[in-house]
């Protein structure tokens, strides 16, 4: 059987034109998907022999797992809910409710990827657009600190580079593509111009460009150390000012290197300054398939995009205080619920050590470093394959996920809903 | 079952002006009489009105949510703690969804309509509605810069336009056609704008006037409950009153609603200081029964400007230098967000404040005018009670006049007006009128069969206090707010329209999608069963 128009919920592109072939109880083909998407469909679209719930590695029933997890959370004094970047908004909405009932913290993968973009938005605003605007209008495309060829393999073809659009009828021929990075990545091959800057010099490069766009004169000394000559910077600034519609895709090379939200703020301010000359947009290259969704859900339910604390009975926001790495590294968190993320393989060692010391509950669709050391682990249905739900693309466009296979596992939403019900009962006692 | 006795009833649709009447409620609706038990509320000394209806606000969807994410400093001053019944959240100018529902309810409003949702993000607005408690809600669908629509207008494809608009309303589960700065938002995508309603929209061969007239015609042909809802060109720019007047004329007798007219009533030259041209515009409205307006009243303080009008937001950013968001949405629309503080000593802001009040006082027929702040653009919706006092209490208004920039006030007609709104007229501009403009036959009144959405106020001299703190708020027959506290949490309905269309049009739409959109045609429509937990189709 074949399903068309299926959404690949693996990365922030959320391509929704996949044709999935089902043979019996598994996915055998994912047409149109990129190499990452194919791997996601094929590896999740086959039967699993993981128990639905485990306590200390021993299989238990779902009910027993829920009871133990709910007790563990209800008894904790400062629990943390973390992850949520690869699950549906429906599960995310329930997770925020659970964090509120617990009076704990809730943080998402944004905290360790594009949190600095969110903070730049709070500081200076953000001129942006949807990906279709890029497809239809962008004659200048800049990837900065991003390697889409490997991280978002269809991004260039589907949205930004070879795609043809309303005012870009010839596609690739109508666009100039520039890659700015600290090393020559495979994406450089797709760019007209590759600009290699020195590591840790993103802020300086962006600030110099802003000065040039604002008509200031710089001398070569002022830009020394960036790794680009004044001529290169001037030429880039000129291209940015003289395009008809430009876009800068900001990757984690900006957000997770020295400077963090200063880098993204400098990028946002540069794009803002260009508006004196022409139209330009900036789009953060969000990684996971629904990391943009959790920012939105937290936004509408609490007013803040990540790192939210409910200790006083209402939401508070303070990156550095209520964010995952900080909470764990300082040893403050005394119980954790990890949903659809793998912090054990991605967070700094000190944070991981804390996760291994405290009762950790993990929900995931497959075995991961995190589920391996979790005290209680649930195996859940994959949103987008075994369960429906909503995801937000990197440009905040919401899309409905399809269900193409049935599963004996519960969805994240169902497990969290049951935890919420049971925690409420326990807290009321 | 619920019986409300001894209260003064204000039900303008039935011409009931303060009579002591008994109101009976069964199964969520108003009934003529009740037999047997149930709760009785003795409303002696109280005023009974239908629940308030906000016909133009910004409470859900991508632009509102970006504003939330953008403004932690706005929320921090105004936390909303959880209770045993209600969810927590944050308030001030862009409240979280839960706080939005509770605060409308606590103010006696039981329905609200978001005025600007890009079709592509309709699903997002519905998701937020699912987390917005108590009130019934709906949204208007942005169409005034839709590229497919402009192509049909330019090609004279009137039928196709009609089928497409119907398809789009069905696909989004929206409530009405909304036009924002027609043509201007499209041009802003290459950093341009239109400056008059007869400028050509480059690349599309249409003018704003044609967009307005064509969508008004389509609206009439589709027999939608609400007329085409228009945010005119040139918002906020000195001299824009002429574009506003031309827009009214472009409707050529067809029904039309002009949104937040306060922002569109300025004389003077572009770039200069502006003056009030309300007298001329209000007179035009007074003599043309096809027109209705809402005000977009400005009140002094810090708030957030958010609009589907991208170039306007950029202009505001250039004036204030404050943080600025712009989002262009493929093939459809755009939006802009800028924090803004209205200051009473500022000439421009004081003029805007006065212009809003002039509109209230100069439009003779209250059925044609709806109270709004264009929340949160002019002020937060929680300021409505203050506006009510300004309208009902001449002395209070005169005192208020003394505190604002005198040069600005001297150039308006505001000091000349002695008119005071009665409770009956307030009931019109805050519920009966907006409900009628929206075509909501089951709201805005207390007749048999109406939704039992009822607000009961203690009768007080201080009308701001009175309207800010209703004694009881009843939604679908349930007493949800008592003495300012939410007693139980419910979720209201989502109101939408579903006009029929010829499916043959889908072929062209599908082709347009495959060329210019980045989402599949099949994945575009909002699924009723997943996103509207309590759907209510209005015909």
pLDDT at A415 over 90: yes
**Tokens of residue B142, six digits:** 């942005």
H or E element that contains B236: none
Considering chain B, what percentage of its residues have pLDDT values greater than 90? Answer: 98
Its CATH class, for the domain covering B47-496, is: alpha beta
Q: What is the pLDDT of residues B459-516, one digit of tens each?
A: 999 999 999 999 999 999 999 999 889 999 999 999 999 999 999 999 999 999 999 9
Residue of B128, B46, B137 whose CA lies nearest to B95: B128
Q: What are phi and psi of B207, to 5 degrees?
A: -115, 160
* Mean predicted confidence (pLDDT) in B287-315: 97
- Give the range among A28-42, A232-246, B29-43, B120-134 with minimum mean pLDDT: B29-43
pLDDT at B446 over 80: yes
CB contact under 8 A, B123 and A399: yes
Residue of A nearest to B118 (CA): A397
* Mean predicted confidence (pLDDT) in B396-406: 96
Give the residue extent of every domain in chain B.
47-496
pLDDT at A48: 93
pLDDT-based confidence at B272, cuts 50/70/90?
A: confident
pLDDT-based confidence at B271, cuts 50/70/90?
A: confident
Residue of A nearest to B314 (CA): A275
Considering chain B, what percentage of its residues have pLDDT values greater than 70? Answer: 100
Query: Which chain A residues contact residue B325 at CB under 8 A?
Result: 121, 125-128
Residue of A nearest to B98 (CA): A301
pLDDT-based confidence at B386, cuts 50/70/90?
A: very high
- Chain A contact probe: residue of B118, B184, B316, B519 with most A CBs at under 10 A: B519
Mean pLDDT rounded to a whole number for chain B: 97
Give the residue extent of every domain in chain A.
50-112+289-428, 115-284
How many CA atoms within 13 Å lie on the side-chain side of B339? 23
**Tokens of residue A63, six digits:** 């009910």
pLDDT at B37: 80
pTM across the whole model: 0.98
**Tokens of residue A66, six digits:** 């829920």
Query: Which chain A residues contact residue B327 at CB under 8 A?
Result: 128-130, 396
- Chain A contact probe: residue of B330, B339, B516 with most A CBs at under 10 A: B330
Q: What is the pLDDT of residues A296-338, one digit of tens each?
A: 999 999 999 999 999 999 999 999 999 999 999 999 999 999 9
Give the Cα separation of B322 and B201 in Å (integer): 29
**Alpha-carbon Rg for chain A in angstroms:** 22
Q: Are strands A245-250 and A193-196 parallel, antiparallel or unpaired?
A: unpaired
Domain A50-112+289-428 has CATH 3.40.630.30: no
pLDDT at B94: 98
Q: What is the pLDDT of residues B407-416, one digit of tens each?
A: 999 999 999 9
CB contact under 8 A, B189 and A137: yes
Interhelix angle A62-75/A412-428, nearest 10 degrees: 50
Q: What is the pLDDT of residues A103-148, one digit of tens each?
A: 999 999 999 999 999 999 999 999 999 999 999 999 999 999 999 9
Instruction: Tell the residue number behind the tokens 């949510």, with chain if given.
Output: B65
A202 contacts A259 by C-beta, under 8 angstroms:
yes
pLDDT at A429 over 80: no
pLDDT at B313: 97
* Mean predicted confidence (pLDDT) in B267-272: 87
Query: Which chain B residues contact residue A248 at CB under 8 A?
Result: none
Burial (CB count <10 Å: 0-12, 13-18, 19+), residue A288: buried
| Chain B contacts in chain A segment 102-121 (CB below 8 A) | 118, 121
* Mean predicted confidence (pLDDT) in A254-277: 97
Beta strands in A294-396 (DSSP E): 308-309, 316-317, 335-339, 360-364, 376-379, 389-392
A355 touches chain B (CB under 8 A): no
Looking at 3.40.228.10, 3.40.50.2300, 3.30.1360.10, 1.10.340.30, the CATH number of the domain A115-284 comes to 3.40.228.10
Q: Is the peptide bond before B376 cis (omega within 30 degrees of 0)?
A: yes
CB contact under 8 A, B121 and A118: no
Cross-strand partners of B327: A128, B335
> Could you tell me where the DSSP H helices lie in B376-490?
384-392, 394-403, 406-410, 423-427, 433-437, 463-468
H or E element that contains B330: none
């Amino acid at each position: 059987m074949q399903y068309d128009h299926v959404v690949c919920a693996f990365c922030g592109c959320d391509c929704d034109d996949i044709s999935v072939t089902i043979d019996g109880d598994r996915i055998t083909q994912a047409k149109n998907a990129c190499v990452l998407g194919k791997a996601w469909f094929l590896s999740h679209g086959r039967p699993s022999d993981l128990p639905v719930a485990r306590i200390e590695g021993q299989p238990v029933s779902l009910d027993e797992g829920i009871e133990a997890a709910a007790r563990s959370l209800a008894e904790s004094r400062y629990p943390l809910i973390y992850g949520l970047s690869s699950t549906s908004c429906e599960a995310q909405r329930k997770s925020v409710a659970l964090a509120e009932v617990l009076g704990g913290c809730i943080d998402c993968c944004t905290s360790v990827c594009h949190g600095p973009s969110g903070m730049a938005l709070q500081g200076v605003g953000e001129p942006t657009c949807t990906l279709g605007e890029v497809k239809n209008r962008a004659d200048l495309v800049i990837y900065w600190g991003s390697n889409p060829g490997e991280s978002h393999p269809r991004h260039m073809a589907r949205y930004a580079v070879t795609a043809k659009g309303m005012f870009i009828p010839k596609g690739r021929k109508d666009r100039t593509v520039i890659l700015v990075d600290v090393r020559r990545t495979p994406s450089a091959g797709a760019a007209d111009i590759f600009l290699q800057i020195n590591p840790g010099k993103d802020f300086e490069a962006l600030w110099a460009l802003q000065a040039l766009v604002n008509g200031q004169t710089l001398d070569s000394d002022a830009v020394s150390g960036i790794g680009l000559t004044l001529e290169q910077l001037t030429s880039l600034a000129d291209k940015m000012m003289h395009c008809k519609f430009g876009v800068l895709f900001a990757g984690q090379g900006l957000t997770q290197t020295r400077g963090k939200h200063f880098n993204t703020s400098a990028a946002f301010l540069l794009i803002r300054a260009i508006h004196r000359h022409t139209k330009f947009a900036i789009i953060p290259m969000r990684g996971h398939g629904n990391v943009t969704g959790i920012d939105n859900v937290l936004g509408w339910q609490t007013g803040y995009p990540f790192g939210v604390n409910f200790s006083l009975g209402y939401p508070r926001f303070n990156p550095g205080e209520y964010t995952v790495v900080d909470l764990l590294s300082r040893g403050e968190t005394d119980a954790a619920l990890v949903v659809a993320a793998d912090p054990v393989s991605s967070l700094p060692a000190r944070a991981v050590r804390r996760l291994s010391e405290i009762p950790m509950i993990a929900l995931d669709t497959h075995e991961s470093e995190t589920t391996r050391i979790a005290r209680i682990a649930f195996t859940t249905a994959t949103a987008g394959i075994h369960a429906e739900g909503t995801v937000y693309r990197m440009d905040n466009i919401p899309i409905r996920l399809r269900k193409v296979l049935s599963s004996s596992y519960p969805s994240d939403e169902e497990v969290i809903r049951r935890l919420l019900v049971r925690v409420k009962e326990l807290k009321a006692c | 079952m619920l019986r409300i006795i001894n209260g003064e009833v204000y039900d303008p649709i039935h011409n009931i002006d303060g009579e002591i009447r008994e109101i009976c409620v069964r199964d969520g609706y108003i009934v003529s009489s009740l037999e047997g038990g149930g709760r009785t509320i003795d409303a002696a000394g109280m005023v009974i009105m239908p629940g308030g209806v906000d016909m133009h606000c910004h409470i859900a969807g991508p632009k509102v949510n970006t504003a939330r994410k953008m403004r932690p400093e706005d929320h921090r001053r105004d936390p909303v703690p959880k209770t045993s019944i209600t969810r927590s959240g944050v308030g001030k100018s862009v409240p979280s969804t839960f706080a939005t529902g509770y605060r409308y309810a606590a103010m006696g409003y039981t329905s609200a309509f978001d005025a600007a949702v890009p079709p592509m993000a309709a699903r997002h607005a519905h998701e937020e509605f699912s987390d917005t408690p108590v009130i019934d809600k709906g949204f208007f669908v942005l169409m005034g810069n839709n590229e497919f629509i402009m192509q049909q207008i330019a090609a004279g494809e009137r039928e196709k336009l009609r089928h497409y608009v119907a398809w789009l309303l069905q696909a989004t589960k929206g409530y009405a056609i909304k036009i924002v700065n027609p043509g201007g938002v499209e041009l802003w995508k290459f950093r341009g704008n239109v400056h008059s309603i007869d400028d050509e929209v480059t690349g599309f061969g249409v003018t704003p006037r044609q967009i307005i007239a064509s969508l008004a015609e389509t609206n009439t042909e589709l027999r939608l409950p609400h007329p085409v809802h228009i945010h005119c060109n040139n918002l906020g720019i000195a001299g824009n009153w002429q574009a506003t007047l031309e827009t009214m004329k472009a409707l050529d007798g067809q029904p039309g609603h002009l949104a937040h007219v306060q922002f569109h009533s300025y004389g003077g030259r572009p770039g200069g200081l502006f003056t009030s041209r309300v007298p001329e515009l209000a007179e035009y409205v007074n003599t043309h029964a096809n027109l209705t307006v809402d005000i977009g009243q400005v009140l002094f303080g810090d708030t957030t400007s958010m609009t589907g009008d991208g170039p306007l937001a950029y202009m505001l950013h250039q004036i204030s230098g404050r943080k600025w968001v712009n989002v262009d949405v493929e093939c459809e629309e755009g939006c802009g967000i800028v924090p803004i503080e209205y200051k009473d000593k500022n000439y421009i802001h004081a003029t805007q404040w006065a212009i809003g009040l002039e509109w209230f006082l100069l439009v003779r027929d209250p059925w044609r005018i709806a109270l709004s702040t264009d929340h949160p653009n002019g002020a937060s919706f929680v300021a409505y009670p203050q506006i009510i006092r300004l309208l009902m209490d001449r002395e209070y208004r005169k005192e208020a006049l003394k505190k604002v920039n005198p040069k600005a006030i001297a150039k308006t007609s505001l000091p000349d007006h002695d008119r005071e709104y009665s409770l009956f007229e307030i009931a019109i501009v805050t519920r009966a009128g907006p409900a009628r403009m929206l075509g909501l036959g089951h709201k805005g009144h207390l007749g048999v069969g109406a939704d039992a959405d009822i607000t009961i106020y203690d009768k007080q001299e201080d009308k701001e206090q009175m309207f800010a703190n209703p004694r009881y708020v009843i939604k679908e027959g349930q007493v949800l707010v008592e003495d300012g506290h939410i007693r139980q949490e419910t979720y209201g309905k989502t109101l939408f329209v579903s006009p029929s269309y010829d499916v043959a049009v889908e072929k062209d739409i599908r082709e347009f999608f495959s060329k210019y959109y980045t989402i599949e045609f099949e994945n575009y429509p909002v699924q009723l069963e997943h996103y509207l937990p309590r759907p209510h189709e209005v015909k």
